[in-house]
Chains A and B, each alone.
Chain A
Amino acid sequence: MAEHILMDSAAIGRTLTRLSHEIVEKEKGTDKICLIGIKRRGEIVARRIQALIEKFYGKQVPCAGIDIGLYRDDLVSVFFVPDAQANELGFSVDGKNVVLCDDVLHTGRSVRAAIEAIFDLGRPAKISLLVLCDRGGKEMPISPDFVGKNVPTSAKEFIDVRLREIEGEDSLGITGKTEE
Chain B
Amino acid sequence: MLGKDLLGMYETSAEDIVTILDTAVGMKKLLTQNLKKLPHLQGRTVTTLFYENSTRTRCSFELAAKYLGAGTVNISASSSSVQKGETLIDTGYTLDAMKNDVIVIRHPMGGAPHLLAKHVKASVINGGDGMNEHPTQALLDFYTMREKFGSFHGLKVAILGDIKHSRVAKSNLFGLKKLGAEVVLYSPATLMPQGIERLGAKVARSKQETLSGANVVMGLRIQLERMQGGLFPSLSEYNQFYGVQESDLAYADKDCIVMHPGPVNRGVELTSDVIDAGNSKITEQVLNGVAVRMAVLFLLVKNRQGGEVRE
Contacts and interface: CB of A to CB of B under 8 A. Distances in A.
B298 A70 contact: no
Interface in A32-88: 70, 75-76, 79, 81-86
A83 B25 CA distance: 10
B36 A81 contact: no
A128 B30 CA distance: 29
A179 interface: no
A88 B38 CA distance: 18
Most buried by B among A76, A84, A86, A120: A76
Interface string B289-311: 00000000010001001000000
Interface in B1-56: 23, 26-27, 29-30, 33-36, 38-40, 42
Nearest to B37: A70
Given A85-B33, A86-B33, A86-B34, A76 B39 contact: yes
Given A84-B35, A85-B33, A79 B40 contact: yes
Contacts, number: 29
A89 to B, nearest CB: 15
A120 B36 CA distance: 9
Interface residues of B, number: 16
B72 to A, nearest CB: 19
A81 B19 CA distance: 13
B29 to A, nearest CB: 8
Contacts of A79: 40, 298, 302, 305
A79 to B, nearest CB: 5
A84 B305 CA distance: 23
Contact of A83 (B26, B40, B298): B26
B35 A70 contact: yes
B40 A86 contact: no
A79 B34 CA distance: 20
Contacts of B23: 81
B35 A86 contact: yes
Contacts of B29: 83
Contacts of B33: 85-86
Nearest to A69: B35
Interface string B82-97: 0000000000000000
Interface string B178-216: 000000000000000000000000000000000000000
29 contacts: A70-B35, A70-B36, A70-B38, A75-B38, A75-B39, A75-B40, A76-B39, A76-B40, A76-B42, A79-B40, A79-B298, A79-B302, A79-B305, A81-B23, A81-B26, A81-B27, A81-B30, A81-B38, A81-B298, A82-B26, A83-B26, A83-B29, A84-B30, A84-B35, A85-B33, A86-B33, A86-B34, A86-B35, A120-B36
Interface of A: 70, 75-76, 79, 81-86, 120
Interface of B: 23, 26-27, 29-30, 33-36, 38-40, 42, 298, 302, 305
Shortest 5 CB-CB distances between A and B: which pairs?
Answer: A81-B26, A86-B33, A79-B302, A86-B35, A76-B39
Given A75-B38, A75-B39, A79-B302, 15 more contacts: A70-B35, A70-B36, A70-B38, A75-B40, A76-B39, A79-B40, A79-B305, A81-B26, A81-B27, A81-B38, A83-B26, A84-B35, A85-B33, A86-B33, A86-B34
